[in-house]
Chains A and B, each alone.
Chain A
Amino acid sequence: MKTCLIVDDSRVIRKVARQIFEAIGYACEEAEDGRKALDACTAKLPDFVLLDWNMPVLNGLEFLRALRLLPGGDKPNVVFCTTENDLSHIQEALGAGANEYIMKPFDADIIRGKLEQLGLIES
């Protein structure tokens, strides 16, 4: 089973995202900040990371840069999922190695669409 790490400091968002990913067939883990997410990735790399931007301790962008430096850290598909919705943030995220970008609010259709574009599920 493919694995997904959901990184967001909001418990509600993590729960909503978990439901969407479990329905698609992913085994989900959760982390409430970038540091805990990085610890999880150091222990075992997930196939997919859904990543909030603004979080305490280590933010999403800092986490992503650190992840990409881990051995095999270039492999996971990382999709930002954040309220930051301006072009400069999107460009910064892509520059740091994000594979896709979702601007909140999101729904299951948007997540499914992004997974289709990344070739992770069939349309």
Chain B
Amino acid sequence: MKPEDFELFSTLVKQRSGLVLTAEKSYLLESRLFPVARKHNMKSLEDMAQALRAKREEALMFDITEAMTTNESFFFRDQKPFTLFQKTLLPHLLTARAGKKQIRIWSAAASSGQEAYSLAMICVEEAAKLQGWKVEIIGTDLSREMVARAKGGIYSQFEVQRGLPVAHLVKYFQQIAGDKWQIKDNIRQMVQFREGNLLTDFGVVGPFDVVFCRNVLIYFDLPTKTRVLATISGMMPTDGFLILGGAETVLGVSDKFKVVPGEHGLYMGASCDVSLISGARG
């Protein structure tokens, strides 16, 4: 790909999604953009770049952004954040929110829905403790295609085996074809999915007690990270929980959150007493 074409595509994707594509990612750009070019009846990425320069057509810009921001996801990805949610955050919230008996959870950059559904499964596992409570789980993603997939809750045989214990497969899925499995209605009804862009229109209204925003910030430059964290912070009570990906942190990025010592990837509002959480675990 010509450097000026790479520049054009990466600038567009950065403007619309915040995703920063460095030159070493150009192979990824090529492999993902060829299908877009084909869809728009163009022979090459060069043609597509030219078309884009001539006319900034929305449908084309939408497809390019969508193709570049689609990420792989699996159930109970990394496992630890989910154990943390089940064993530490949920018990804490059961006390802290005992007055209103309501917990709101946001899976930001929900992709095809596995994270949000994993959280829903945990809530069903803990149903006895949550009796009489209202639990809302909302997943957002900037990709229209991903939101539609997430809503459908249909996954391939490969996807339902990555990270998902077989006991959960048996309990929470129905087999709809040989190698296709769909999340059962009782779980699907617990989760709402919407289009939302972390840079512009989040697509949701706070406050959220728990926000999962994993493996998104890594793609943003520093000012964008700071801005996104500030907006998320505005949608959370100070004692709410933010969970970031393993390679992400608020340190040096945002003063709205502070680290919960001893819990990798867990953050709370800057003015909150985090010893409530870390202290309880000794």
Name which of A34-42, A70-78, A106-114 contacts chain B.
A106-114
**Do the beta carbons of B79 and A116 come within 8 Å of each other?**
yes
Judge if B157 is at the interface, Cβ distance under 8 Å.
yes
Judge if A103 is at the interface, Cβ distance under 8 Å.
yes
**Do the beta carbons of A85 and B178 come within 8 Å of each other?**
yes
The verdict on A86 contacting B170 (CB below 8 Å), with A102-B161, A106-B161 known, is no
Contact code string A80-121 (vs B, CB < 8 Å = 1, else 0): 000001110011001000001111011001100110110000
User: Which of the residues A86, A87, A91, A103 comes within 8 Å of B161, measured between beta carbons?
Assistant: A103
Inter-chain contacts of A103 with B (CB < 8 A)? 157, 161, 179
Residue among B80, B167, B174 having the largest count of chain A Cβ atoms under 10 Å: B167
The verdict on A90 contacting B169 (CB below 8 Å), with A85-B179, A116-B79, A123-B78 known, is yes
User: Which of the residues B80, B163, B166, B179 comes within 8 Å of A100, measured between beta carbons?
Assistant: B166
- Nearest residue, chain A, Cβ from B169: A90
- Chain B positions within 8 Å of A, measured between CB atoms, are 74, 78-80, 157-158, 161-163, 165-167, 169-170, 174-175, 178-179
A-B contacts, 9 of them at CB < 8 A, read A85-B157, A87-B175, A90-B169, A94-B170, A106-B161, A113-B74, A114-B161, A123-B79, A123-B80
Which 9 interchain pairs have the tightest Cβ spacing?
A101-B166, A123-B79, A110-B161, A117-B165, A87-B175, A113-B163, A103-B157, A100-B166, A113-B162
- Chain A positions within 8 Å of B, measured between CB atoms, are 85-87, 90-91, 94, 100-103, 105-106, 109-110, 113-114, 116-117, 123
